[in-house]
Amino acid sequence: MKTVKIFAPASVGNSACGFDVIGFAIDAPGDELIVSLTDRHKEIKIIDIQGDNGKLSWDSAKNTASVAIQAYLQHLGIEQGVEIRLHKKMPLGSGLGSSAASAVAGAVAINELMDKPLKRKDLLPFAMEGERIACGAAHADNVAPSLIGGFVLVRSYNPLDVVPIKTPQNLVAIVVHPHIEVSTKTAREILPTEISLSTAITQWGNVGGLVAGLCMADMGLIGRSLQDVVAEPVRAKLIPHFDAIKQAMLGAGALGSSISGSGPSVFALAANTDTAEKVRIAVTTLLTKVGMPHDIYVSPINLQGAKVIG
Q: Which residues bind ligand HSE (CB under 6 A)?
A: 13-14, 19-20, 95, 97, 139, 141-142, 184, 187-188, 231, 261-262
Complex with ligand HSE: residue 139 or 246, whichever CB lies closer: 139
Complex with ligand HSE: residue 14 or 206, whichever CB lies closer: 14
What is the C-alpha to C-alpha distance for residues 215 and 3, in angstroms, rounded to an integer? Answer: 39
Complex with ligand HSE: residue 111 or 184, whichever CB lies closer: 184
Least distance in angstroms from the C-beta of 43 to ligand HSE: 31
Least distance in angstroms from the C-beta of 289 to ligand HSE: 28
Indicate if 184 belongs to the active site: yes
Complex with ligand HSE: residue 28 or 308, whichever CB lies closer: 28
Q: Which of 83, 131, 167, 275 is catalytic?
A: 131
Least distance in angstroms from the C-beta of 18 to ligand HSE: 8
Residue nearest to ligand HSE (CB): 261
Least distance in angstroms from the C-beta of 131 to ligand HSE: 8
Q: Is 300 exposed, middle or buried (0-12, 13-18, 19+ CB in 10 A)?
A: middle
Indicate if 131 belongs to the active site: yes
Catalytic residues: 131, 184
